[in-house]
Amino acid sequence: MMFLNDLVTIDKAADTAVYLQIANAIIQAIRRGRLRSRSKLPGSRELANALNVHRKTTVAAYEELLAQGWLEMIPRKGTFVVQDLPEIKPRKLKQAETSVAYPEKTIFSIDEKRFVQFPALGFPDTKKLIINDGFPDMRLLPNELFLRELRSMGKQPAFKKYNMYGRAEGTDYLRDTLASFLRETRGLPISAANVMITRGAQMGIYMAASLLLKPGDQVIVGEPSYFAATLTFQQAGASINRVPVDESGLAIDAVERLCQTKKIRLLYVIPHHHHPTTVTLSPERRIRLLELAATYKFALIEDDYDYDFHYTSNPVLPMASLDHHGSVIYIGTLSKTLVPAIRIGFIVAPENFIKAVANLRMGIDRQGDSMMEVAIAELYRNGTIGRHIRKVVNIYRERRDHFSALLTENLGQRVSFRIPDGGMSVWTRFNYSDLRTVSAKAFQKGLIMSDGQRYNTGTINYNSARLGFASLNLAEQERAIDIIVKCL
């Protein structure tokens, strides 16, 4: 028995359960040869007394070791270390001892030029202040509620069915939940059959582009537009036609002129808060756009990535809520509603489109993470997500107002912007200073901000950036503006 007190140290404050601490210590002792194969272990009661823990704990530790195959129970004799330890010892492919370095490059060629280059996203883990493009404040997500939900669902036997392969369209539970949520909050006359769960909006854009576009197909986007969508259409071989964006959104007359001269296959629009300019497409233009889609029979991708974040009056309902004769592919995401790392988005479309896109998914992703989908559905159903949205909308409204006031008071004529009705950023044009220089100087002074290059389309240099106000509290905003002022 000496080994017990010697080898097993229990830390009751540790995160690892006590029975696992005991089991792990015994495994270590076996691995190090201090407990040899075929040696007998004390009974669970004896072990419990020696370690001063409850007997249930030592029984659980032994059960764990028996299940893993470290111990065996011999009837009427007791518990023993097994003869053949459950450790895999791979056989060498070659007898000679050679140490190899992993190759730096493939021996075969890769035609990287076949693919468009997406600008690297992701943010450095840095102490510097960051004004991002317009992302939510990670600090506000109620992580503990989210994890508690997963834990409590994990305990329910019915939850186990989600361990099996599921549907490419997503779990029915979340499709159904989202269908009612979108019916109630955005007026979409849909059922679960019209919903496909994706890993974020980008996957929806990618799959719609892959399904619809052949090389040479004509696509309309705004000037400017969301760069990642444009790149995705270009990747599919499409020819990009850009139409101006003014205070009322996409210029519909220009769309109509294009339709009269070219066979348009797809139009991409972000009507609620256009990316990057944040303008809202007016109701009149929405109706005209739907009429054009019906007349010229093109597909209309309505990217509604930040619908939940509107700060004035009532938001305009999506085009997908009207009778669109099957032209609209409506795309949404939880990247802004919750956080970008929870990769859940959705496509809403006529059933034939959902079926085709689900088939397409089978070749690359097969399905999403069912457990995450079910937990998210539960958080919608029990009201957690609704409460979170209401709470952060109030916080972001205050942050938007504070940030806009800071821009006016501190930067005056040196920038132009309009206060956005929604979203998480202010589209800010720098009137006299080159944004690349400002951004480089800001970096030296401890602030990371966009240099605006990704919005430039080749023909126009906007010298503008989306300055994300939502993820900075008021004091951080003041520090950021202070630095920008010093850089101008």
Ligand X SMILES: Cc1ncc(COP(=O)(O)O)c(C=O)c1O
Contacts of residue 179, defined as CB under 8 A and 6 or more positions apart, other chains included, come to 188, 190, 191, 192, 194, 195
Q: How far is the C-alpha of 335 from the C-alpha of 136, rounded, in Å? A: 8
User: Residues 382, 386, 387, CA angle at the centre, nearest 5°?
Assistant: 90
Instruction: Indicate the helix (H) or strand (E) that contains 212.
Output: helix 200-212
Nearest CA to 64 among 107, 18, 110, 9?
Answer: 18
From the list 194-202, 308-316, 407-415, 429-437, the region that binds ligand X by CB under 6 A is 194-202
C-beta of 275 vs 310, nearer to ligand X: 275
> Which is closer to ligand X, CB of 188 or CB of 201?
201
162 interacts with ligand X by CB under 6 A: no
Beta carbon of residue 271, minimum distance to ligand X (angstroms, whole number): 11
Burial call 121-136: b when 16+ CB within 10 Å, e when fewer = eeeeeeeebbbbbbbb
Binding of ligand X by 425 (CB under 6 A)? no
Least gap, CB of 169 to ligand X (angstroms): 18
Strand partners, 241: 220
Question: Please, what is the angle between helix 351-361 and helix 200-212, to 10°?
Answer: 100
- Per-residue x/- marks for ligand X, 202-221, CB under 6 A? x-------------------
What's the CA gap between 319 and 289, in Å, rounded? 9
Containing 427, the helix (H) or strand (E) segment is strand 425-430
What residues contact 119, with CB distance under 8 A and at least 6 apart? 227, 454
The residue (of 22 and 250) whose beta carbon lies closer to ligand X is: 250
Closer to ligand X at the Cβ: 25 or 131? Answer: 131
The yes or no reply on residue 345 touching ligand X (CB under 6 A) is yes
* Three-class secondary structure of residue 195 per DSSP: strand
CB of 137 to ligand X, least distance (A): 15
- Contact between 335 and ligand X by CB under 6 A: the answer reads yes
From candidates 136, 166, 170, 200, binder to ligand X by CB under 6 A: 200
Is 270 an interacting residue with respect to ligand X (CB under 6 A)? yes
Q: C-alpha dihedral over 163, 169, 172, 173, to 10 degrees?
A: 70
- Binders of ligand X: how many residues, by CB under 6 A? 12
In whole angstroms, the minimum distance from the beta carbon of 70 to ligand X comes to 44
Amino acid at the residue 225: S
Smallest gap from Cβ 231 to ligand X, in A, equals 12
Q: Tell me: does residue 326 bind ligand X (CB under 6 A).
A: no
Binding residue (CB under 6 A) for ligand X from 137, 169, 302, 303: 303
Residue closer to ligand X by CB (options 232, 327) is: 232
- In the complex, what is the shortest distance from the CB of residue 229 to ligand X, in angstroms, rounded to a whole number? 6
Strand segments (E) across 167-212: 195-198
Residue 455 sits in the site that holds ligand X (CB under 6 A): no
Member of 70, 146, 206, 226 binding ligand X (CB under 6 A): 226
Q: Which of residues 333, 337, 370, 425 is near ligand X by CB under 6 A?
A: 333
* Distance (Å, whole) CA 128 – CA 443: 8
Looking at residue 182, its amino acid is L
Q: Are 309 and 423 in contact (CB under 8 A)?
A: yes
User: Which one, 277 or 370, has the nearer CB to ligand X?
Assistant: 277
Residue with Cβ nearer ligand X (82 or 141): 141
Task: By CB under 6 A, name the one of 305, 353, 427, 455 that touches ligand X.
Answer: 305
Minimum gap (Å) between residue 10 Cβ and ligand X: 44
Q: Angle of helix 44-51 relative to helix 55-68, nearest 10 degrees?
A: 120
**275 lines the binding site for ligand X (CB under 6 A):** yes
Task: By CB under 6 A, tell whether 201 contacts ligand X.
Answer: yes
Residue nearer to ligand X on the CB measure, 345 or 420:
345
Nearer to ligand X, 270 or 385 (CB): 270
3-class DSSP state of 357: helix
> Binding to ligand X by residue 321, rule CB under 6 A?
no
Token pair of 406 as six digits:
């800071």
Name the residue whose CB lies closest to ligand X: 200
Alpha-carbon gap, residue 351 to 242, rounded angstroms: 30
Tell me the sheet residues that pair with 428: 465
Q: Which one, 231 or 238, has the nearer CB to ligand X?
A: 231
> Smallest gap, in angstroms, from Cβ of residue 424 to ligand X?
9
If the CB atoms of residues 21 and 336 are measured against ligand X, the closer one turns out to be 336
DSSP secondary-structure letter at 310? B
Interface ranges with ligand X (CB under 6 A): 200-202, 226, 270, 275, 303, 305, 333, 335, 340, 345
